Amino acid sequence: MGASENTENLKRTPLYDLHLEMGGKMVPFAGYEMPVQYPMGILTEHQHTRSGAGLFDVSHMGQIKLRGESYAQVAAALERLCPADFLGLAPGQQRYSFFINNAGGILDDLMVTRAGNGDDKDHLLMVVNAACKEQDLSHLQANLNNRCEVEPMFDRGLLALQGPRAAAAMQKIAPESVNMKFMTGRPLNVGGTECFVTRSGYTGEDGFEISVAHDQLDNVARKLLGDMEVKPIGLGARDSLRLEAGLCLYGNDITETTTPVEASLVWAMQKRRREQGGFPGAGIVQRQLAEGPSRKRVGILPEGRAPARAHTEIANEHGEVIGEITSGGFGPTVGGPVAMGYVRADLAAIGTSVQLMVRGKALPAKVAGMPFVPHRYHR
């Protein structure tokens, strides 16, 4: 403990000064200096997001726009790289998806929104992971440049306002947000600034993600923090919140070596795409859909108090290794340890007894359903 981290060559979001002002403890994350927590501490920040409203700076994430001569052209282009149905998106509708490789592995996961009014000017707005954004941009440019325009919007920041009090806080400075439903997006004036807002997030709670030009980000963040209910939340609580919500972290729970079928993300590949294919790795994905995968991502609930972290081996009752934890820790709302990981498909049923090999000891655990904390989206 105590060794100071090397912060050379790290990027900063436009909210860097605000984070310091609020006592944020800055750590290196995906090439950025980001707040892991504020003086409230991870546990309290987590609980505040579940009971009030939390504001997260997620400006390190990448935003990319795809546009073309018609919406159909743009949607068809992205369908070449992702197994989701974008042609079927209604104007303003948002969808979770992933870039997939020829082996059916996941290159990155992303949120995609059809922005526009239902005419040829409609385009797609994507939010991708910070650590993957340059690679995603190259991937899009290399594969789609002759089909649509790929426009990086790395001069925009992103705020996430999450929690049961998020809607009330948002309504005060963006009254029209009240009409938005979960997984929709629209341009919206937020406290005098033109933003693009979606009703979505990464905590399992109701909330919004607000895309703002860099030069207005500090202004919008301070307006939201002016509400007594809204507290700044760091990356530490972001991770425990998403884990309790059963949501995947790219690089841990999904990687280039996991397919969407193995990752239990079949729901994010709509029927037409599953049946027709037409995306990289479609043959492998369709074979796994027909025959069943050899392993599956499941929830894991340790029966004792000890958290099981990522890379903990999972064994069956005879001590034979059957998988590995990919995310795990303490769930403050659950009040105990929670985890997710991959297990052999024949041992993936909810309630199956397993053992977690933590520091040389076999700790009892059970395969569990996810989310660990019920989602409370505004549908």
Partner 1 sequence: MSEVRYSQEHEWVKLDGDTATIGITHYAQEQLGDVVFVELPEIGKKVEKGKELAMVESVKAASEVYAPVSGEVIEVNSTLTETPATVNEDALGKGWFAKLKVADKGQFATLMDEAAYNKFVEGLH
- 114 sits near partner 1 (criterion: CB under 8 A): no
Round to whole Å and give the CA distance between 326 and 342: 7
What residues pair up with 300 in beta bridges, in sequence order? 339, 367
- 6 sits near partner 1 (criterion: CB under 8 A): no
8 A C-beta contact, residue 285 and residue 328? no
As measured in angstroms, the least distance from the Cβ of 1 to partner 1 is 5
As measured in angstroms, the least distance from the Cβ of 307 to partner 1 is 6
- 356 sits near partner 1 (criterion: CB under 8 A): no
As measured in angstroms, the least distance from the Cβ of 70 to partner 1 is 48
| One of 113, 129, 200, 240 touching partner 1 (CB under 8 A) | 240
As measured in angstroms, the least distance from the Cβ of 188 to partner 1 is 33
- 311 sits near partner 1 (criterion: CB under 8 A): no
Q: How many CB atoms lie within 10 A of CB 228?
A: 10
- 337 sits near partner 1 (criterion: CB under 8 A): yes
- 43 sits near partner 1 (criterion: CB under 8 A): yes
- 332 sits near partner 1 (criterion: CB under 8 A): yes
- 329 sits near partner 1 (criterion: CB under 8 A): yes
Rounded to 10°, the helix 235-244/42-51 angle is 60
How far, CA to CA in Å, does 98 sit from each of 112, 224, 246, 255? 10, 31, 17, 11
For 164, phi and psi rounded to 5 degrees?
-65, -20
As measured in angstroms, the least distance from the Cβ of 304 to partner 1 is 9
Round to whole Å and give the CA distance between 334 and 188: 35
Burial of 313 (0-12, 13-18, 19+ CB in 10 A): middle
Round to whole Å and give the CA distance between 170 and 206: 11
Round to whole Å and give the CA distance between 263 and 251: 12
- 307 sits near partner 1 (criterion: CB under 8 A): yes
H or E element, residue 168: helix 166-173
Candidates 6-14, 64-72, 200-208, 302-310: pick the segment binding partner 1 (CB under 8 A). 302-310
Nearer to partner 1, 87 or 357 (CB): 357
Nearer to partner 1, 39 or 283 (CB): 39
Nearer to partner 1, 104 or 236 (CB): 236
Round to whole Å and give the CA distance between 301 and 313: 14
| One of 10, 30, 36, 289 touching partner 1 (CB under 8 A) | 36
Candidates 171-179, 180-188, 247-255, 304-312: pick the segment binding partner 1 (CB under 8 A). 304-312
Question: Which positions lie near partner 1, rule CB under 8 A?
Answer: 1-2, 4, 36-37, 41-44, 46, 236-237, 240, 305-307, 309, 329-330, 332, 337, 359
